[in-house]
Amino acid sequence: MIPLSHLHDSPDGRSTRLGAQLLPDGAGTRFRVWSTTATLVHVRVDGAVHAMTALGHGTFETVLPVGAGARYIFILDGMDRPDPYARFLPDGVHGEAEVIDFDHYRWQDTTWRGIALADCVFYELHVGTFTPEGTYRAAQERLPYLKDLGVTAVQLLPVAAFPGQRGWGYDGVALYAPFAPYGRPEELMAFVDAAHALGLGVFLDVVYNHFGPDGNYLKAYSPTYFTERFQSAWGEGLDYAEPHMRRLITGSARMWLRDYGFDGLRLDATAAMQDDSDVHILKELAQEVHKLGGTHLLLAEDHRNDPMLVTDYGLDGIWVDDFHHEVRVTLTREHEGYYRGFEGGAAELAQVIRRGWKYEGQFWNVTGEEHQRGKPADALEAPSLVYCIQNHDQIGNRATGDRLNHHHDVTPQEYRGAATLLLTLPMTPLLFQGQEWGAGTPFLFFSDHHGELGRLVSEGRKREFAYFSSFSGESVPDPQAESSFRASKLDWSELDVGEHGRTLALYRVLTSLRREDPVLAQRSRKNLHAGNVLDVLWVRTHTDAGDRLLVWNLGQEAVPVDALTLDLPGRVILHSEVGLTDALPSSGLLEPGEAVLYGGSGGGTA
């Protein structure tokens, strides 16, 4: 039996008792280790080696008269082992950790109380490619731009420490330590602080379903963190029934939310978080997070279309792949890989919008999988469904990292029409960096693994996406090449040029309309109806405040709007090619790819 005192949070509320923890009133730093493999444990602090006392049950501890900034590494039976609970690894995941004082940073904004999911317009960004410098500090300087754009919540790709100098962040191995090349912990705090001062929420993508292949030292401390009962696509299964693994995960979540001030977490690939405990790890995670007080949100990336994640486990929202896939297939007519499960077209898009997602129990037989997929989303309200037309995966997991606007079959008009649909629906929208101006730069997959591991990553990626013909060619950029990383950095000089500027202007209008229009500001699926007239999609939102009707021409020919036999509200509010307006072009035609939003105070159904 493991004493609960070795698992629970420390008296001052810090995330876990393991690792290095500053004691109150300058009493030094306590170093604590749990290991089922070591018999002798030491800690080397600033070059001096100190024995640690065995407390029983695999726990070792010592208190030393050192403070913040001290460098340390644990020594297990004579072998140097980096601290998996490190709060900062300034020299990388194989090096010494630094003792961090979370109270050193003085928060400037003390009035922020969080953001409701219904108010979120997410902007997903990768710190390393968002700016030329690729740091928290440089990203902070762009926050006023995001405020002006009209997004309300910034979502960072994972920043938990991972090997090398560049990567997406999904190979993290130190769940408590921010990635050093982006900046120091206090610079990440300053980023969050500055965002809050501007009225922006900040969310963090976290990976609690696997560890990266390089730099994970947990097994050296205890193999019981892992299990053969489960296996994931990325390696050994995590044993969430092991109390220390469970506390590692929940403690990490609590730290990001409490000590760094994040407003919520996006949980990567929750379908891979297999757990046979009495209480599923996701449910306990939600309970722990919601006990923190204030507004803290948990969003699941999960392809299963299972409302239980919200209704039973208590998460707040789910990323919905089906909406993205139907938009993509509609505009590009691609049917490779998992896109084979989607038909595209106005009727299919209308079904997804009406039902929340496409698959609610139908048979799925795509990419080697055969099973019933999904359950009805009837119990979920609109904010719990996160929709996008692009994200890091759906761009970066393409062979050349090409964005939707790069596709030869997607016209600028269709691209702007898709944005108009996304931002006028009551579901929670997510944008990916640069999407708002139709960025010309790709977002490639890139990594910085050493030697043989790097080669295996490059080859494994081609195998993983073998069902996409584009991955079979020799022209696929090498993820290990630094050029792949550099090519993925946004080109901010594009911002207001030509079609880029036109697209950006539309996004600004749409986010303002979403926020201020009395009908669109009501986030309920109960008000939502959708259908089609041949290749024209229509979406009606009907509330006590009035009617809004979006009409999007997905065909190849211009359409006379008056011929659509729709009950049109009184006036035109927005045209995707013009912006705010009060009339259609004099021709009365809706050209291919264009969308129009009508508004009126009366009711009516299509």
Catalytic residue numbers, as ranges: 268, 301
Q: How many CB atoms lie within 10 A of CB 401?
A: 21
Sign of CA dihedral 436, 170, 479, 237: negative
DSSP secondary structure string for all residues of 456-490: HHHHHHHHHTTTSGGGGSTTSPPTTSHHHHHHTS-
Mapped onto helix, strand or coil, the DSSP state of residue 435 is helix
- Rounded Cα–Cα distance for residues 519 and 598 (Å): 11
CB 102 within 8 A of CB 259: yes
Token pair for 169: 């962040």
> Token match 């969430």: residue?
240
CA-nearest of 245, 255, 284, 293 to 13 is 255
- Rounded Cα–Cα distance for residues 501 and 273 (Å): 42
**Vertex 295: Cα angle to 293 and 298 (nearest 5):** 105
The size of the chain, in residues, is 606
Q: At what angle do helices 498-516 and 412-424 cross, to 10 degrees?
A: 20
Beta bridge partners, 533, equal 536
CB 549 within 8 A of CB 572: no
- Rounded Cα–Cα distance for residues 38 and 58 (Å): 8
- Rounded Cα–Cα distance for residues 177 and 94 (Å): 13
> 449-456 long-range CB contacts below 8 Å, 24 or more apart?
449/163, 449/164, 449/171, 449/213, 449/214, 449/480, 450/163, 450/164, 450/214, 453/213, 453/214, 454/480, 455/480
Distance in Å from the first CA to the final CA of the chain: 65
- Rounded Cα–Cα distance for residues 441 and 284 (Å): 40
CB 262 within 8 A of CB 256: yes
Q: Radius of gyration over alpha carbons of the chain, in Å?
A: 25
Token pair for 66: 């050192």
Element (H, E) at 588: none
Q: Report, in this order, helix, strand and coil percent for the chain, each rounded to 5.
A: 30, 25, 45
